[in-house]
Amino acid sequence: MTESPMDDNAPGASRVLACRCEEILFEEVIAAVVAGARNVDDVKRRTRAGMGACQGIFCSPTIAAIVAQVTETPIALVAPMTTRPPTRPIPLEALAALARDTETNA
Partner 1 sequence: MSPARIAVVGGGPTGLSAAAVAAGAGAAVTLFDERDDLGGQLCYRAQAVVTEAGSPAIRPDEARTSLIAAAASAGAELRPGSLVTAAFSSRELLVLDAERVQRVRADAVVVATGSTDLPFPFAGSTLPGVFSARGLQILLNQWRVRPGKRFAIIGESEAADELAVDVLLAGGEVVWSGIAPGPFLAAEGEGGVEVLRVGNETHTVDVIAIAVGRQPDPALATAAGNPLAFAAALGGLAPVLDGRLASPVDRFFVAGDAAGVGSVATAVAEGRLAGISAAASLELASEDDVLQAIERGGEELAWRVAQREGASEHFTPPYRSGVSR
The set of residues, in sequence order, having a beta carbon less than 8 Å from that of 24 and lying 6+ positions away, is: 17, 18, 47, 48, 49, 59
- Among 29, 53, 45, CA closest to 82: 45
Burial 82-94 (b: 16+ CB within 10 A, else e): eeeeeeeeeeeee
Q: Give the one residue of 74, 103, 104, 106 binding partner 1; rule: CB under 8 A.
A: 74
Shortest CB 63 distance to partner 1, Å: 10
Shortest CB 8 distance to partner 1, Å: 10
What's the length of the chain?
A: 106
Shortest CB 15 distance to partner 1, Å: 5
Site for partner 1 in 13-72 (CB under 8 A): 13, 15-18, 20, 26, 38-39, 41-42, 57-59, 61-62
Q: Give the one residue of 10, 34, 35, 53 binding partner 1; rule: CB under 8 A.
A: 10
